[in-house]
Amino acid sequence: MSLRLIAAIALVSASLASPALAQHAHEAPAALALDHGQRWATDAPLRHAMETLRAGAPDTAPLELAALIDAQTAYIIDHCRLPPEADANLHLIIERLLEAAELLRAGEADAGRSGAIAALDAYGAHFDHPGWRPLRP
């Protein structure tokens, strides 16, 4: 797990005091992978949060988008229950989203938005979310 992800999770944890976050803190793989050539299964809380992020990513003001990312990743951490291998891959998506939020807060709006969109598109490529459409063709 990268130091940035650990710091971001600590920030979210401190702000939300979520006991579920402690359960979620485990080692993520080095790179996103498919489940034997198939996209990973999702659950309703994950799909809800990702749809909310997808709707806000293109045109929400930078600081509002950073707050939306924080809120939705915390929601995922608290409510999403995936098998361990799928969850480990999801951690990479969450890490990318939180890094994008950091950029947005640092005033790097273009890089932050681009990072958030790339993370959401990676989610759609690796997780089975019926009806998901990439933000970038």
95, part of any domain: yes
The H or E element that residue 9 is part of is helix 3-16
134, part of any domain: no
pLDDT in tens, 95-105: 999 999 999 99
DSSP per-residue string spanning 82-132: --HHHHHHHHHHHHHHHHHHHHHHTT-HHHHHHHHHHHHHHHHHHB--TT-
Least confident of 25-29, 34-38, 44-48, 115-119: 25-29
Checking if the pLDDT of 13 tops 80, the result is no
84, part of any domain: yes
28, part of any domain: no
Between residues 108 and 137, the one the model is more confident about = 108
pLDDT in tens, 31-72: 999 999 999 999 999 999 999 999 999 999 999 999 999 999
| Full domain range(s) for residue 63 | 3-22+45-126
**How many domains does the structure of the chain reveal?**
1
Can you give the pLDDT at residue 108? 98
Return the ∠ at Cα 112 (arms to 61 and 74), rounded to 5°. 80
Can you give the pLDDT at residue 28? 62
60, part of any domain: yes
Checking if the pLDDT of 89 tops 50, the result is yes
Cβ proximity of 88 and 27 under 8 Å: yes
When pLDDT is averaged across residues 4-21 and rounded to a whole number, the result is 44
136, part of any domain: no
Between residues 15 and 134, the one the model is more confident about = 134
What band does 30 get if pLDDT is binned at 50, 70 and 90? confident
pTM of the model: 0.81
